[in-house]
Amino acid sequence: MKKKVCMIGTGYVGLVTGSCLAEIGHDVICVDKDKAKIDVLNAGGIPIYEPGLKQLVDRNRKRKRLRFTNNIKEGVRASDIVFIAVNTPPLPDGGADLSFVEACTREVASHANGRKLLVEKSTVPVQTGERISQTLQIIKTSGQAQLEVASNPEFLREGSAIEDFLKPDRIVIGVQSKWAEKMLRDLYAPLKATVVVTDIKSAELIKHASNSFLAMKISYINAIAEICEKVGADVTQVAQGMGYDARIGKAFLHAGIGYGGSCFPKDVSAFIKIAEAIGYDFRMLKATETVNTAARESMIRKLESVLWTMKGKTIAVLGLAFKPNTDDLRNAPAIDIIGSLLERGAHVRATDPVAMDRMRTIYPNITYCKDAYETAKGADGLVVVTEWPDFKKLNIAKLKKIMNAPVIIDGRNIFDPVKMAKAGFTYQSVGRPLLTREGLKPTTLKVVT
């Protein structure tokens, strides 16, 4: 049944979710306090890079099911279901900054009329629903307003967000009443997805527990990669052998330079903080963070092990976004890696299919190049930071010709070590043996007595 929806926060989650809800037949108003963002959208643009999003927004705007405004009062009053999809960034101590959620709750409370469901879509610590209810009670709504809180965490992944929304593994709804359950079941009915109905606190925990588990899986394989490097084994083969076990699964067993992005780092640290606040020392997640930091730092360590000093060297950086198919740079490994290179006096040349404009605001003075070949020109070393599909198809003979020295540190294991060694590269990847041109023998093998 068609619903009237207000999506507060028109960022990576709110814009995709709002547009997808319009796509499945609902009337959606997306609200954001950022005037520039709404102006871009109202002028027909898209403020973020997400495959397929422009077509989706254009289509639903034409159907008059989707509109954008700065006016939260208008959005709230016109809707039966109001989503909070604002940012919940990390505080300096690692906890979640809930001030945007709070501000948004207060605004909804002050404008609401009639009966509405207020749904947490933002990733929030357990017990936030109680805080939202408390705030609603403090801020007096108009006489007839009746607001009920629910939780509906989001699991979409940037880069495949539309597909993830339209074909979810599951939809989690945390509710306090049959009415709220029916509102959300009706909303998502066109997707014909598995719906998990819980209380609000459990729904909040499902999100943090899921993201932390995935981050832990990444750190686990990165720890295995460290061991592989020490003994000359191949982590990709280990991961493959593990992944056939249905209890383990193949996903998230790709060794690399660790997780980044706007979700895993902040959600893991927020979960550690929440646990601490309620008296549980989440040691497993602390170790996950430690392994992740080490994975990120390994790239510079490997580069220095080959190039010795960095001062005056030219380093090519392939990939800036925290993962392919997005322009999101929040907590992207590239930021730390470029920072470390600059600190050491290296000249940095970089490229990324969609994230260079955003990176220019962080590092305006490095050299941005149109593609990988231009980036590699004259470089003393090249680092692969993001596994964009185009980088996997590079002509390595051509790359070798244009580089000053054939040195590649591959943080995403996108090249075949045997081919790279045969082509004459000094090539180091993650958790795979070092190969020499002659014997293709592991050079790291040590006999332990």
Ligand X SMILES: NC(=O)c1ccc[n+]([C@@H]2O[C@H](COP(=O)([O-])OP(=O)(O)OC[C@H]3O[C@@H](n4cnc5c(N)ncnc54)[C@H](O)[C@@H]3O)[C@@H](O)[C@H]2O)c1
Cα dist from 428 to 298, 299, 361, 425, 442, whole Å: 11, 9, 30, 9, 11
* Measured distance CA(87)–CA(101) in Å, rounded: 8
Asked if 317 is part of the footprint of ligand X (rule: CB under 6 A), the reply reads no
**What is the C-alpha separation between 82 and 76, in angstroms, rounded?**
7
Which of 13, 253, 366, 394 forms a contact with ligand X (CB under 6 A)? 13
**Which range binds ligand X by CB under 6 A, 150-158, 189-197, 279-287, 337-345?**
150-158
Binding ligand X by CB under 6 A: which of 32, 50, 336, 352?
A: 32
The yes or no reply on residue 53 touching ligand X (CB under 6 A) is: no
CA angle 439/441/447 to nearest 5° reads 140
Only segment of 31-39, 131-139, 283-291, 373-381 that touches ligand X (CB under 6 A): 31-39
154 touching ligand X, by CB under 6 A: yes
Q: Which stretch binds ligand X (CB under 6 A): 102-110, 136-144, 334-342, 420-428?
A: 102-110
Q: Phi and psi for 277 in degrees, rounded to 5?
A: -65, -30
Among 2, 34, 370, 443, binds ligand X (CB under 6 A): 34
100 binds ligand X, rule: CB under 6 A: yes
Compute how many other C-beta atoms are within 10 angstroms of the C-beta atom of residue 283: 10
Q: Is 205 in the site for ligand X (CB under 6 A)?
A: no
Residue 54: exposure state from Cβ atoms within 10 A (0-12, 13-18, ≥19): middle
184 binds ligand X (CB under 6 A): no
414 binds ligand X (CB under 6 A): no
Question: What b-and-e string marks burial along 351-386, b requiring 16 or more CB atoms within 10 Å of the CB?
Answer: bbbbbbebbeeebeebebbeebbebbeebbbbbbbb
Q: Which is nearer to ligand X, 32 or 289 (CB)?
A: 32
Q: Could you tell me which of 386, 222, 397, 212 has the C-alpha nearest to residue 293?
A: 222
Residues 211-230 that bind ligand X (CB under 6 A): none
Question: Are 154 and 16 in contact, with CB atoms under 8 Å apart?
Answer: no
| Spatial separation of the C-alpha atoms in residues 205 and 269, rounded to whole Å | 14
Q: Does 88 bind ligand X (CB under 6 A)?
A: yes
Q: Please identify, among the stretches 61-69, 79-87, 163-171, 221-229, the one whose residues bind ligand X according to the rule CB under 6 A.
A: 79-87
The answer to whether 85 contacts ligand X (rule: CB under 6 A) is yes
* Residue 87 contacts ligand X per CB under 6 A: yes
CB of 85 or CB of 225, closer to ligand X: 85
263 is catalytic: yes
> Which residues have C-beta within 8 Å of that of residue 370, sequence separation ≥ 6?
351
Strands 347-351 and 195-198: unpaired
Query: Which residues are at the interface with ligand X (CB under 6 A)?
Result: 8-14, 31-34, 37, 72, 85-88, 100, 103-104, 107, 122-123, 154, 156, 158, 262-263
Active-site positions read 263
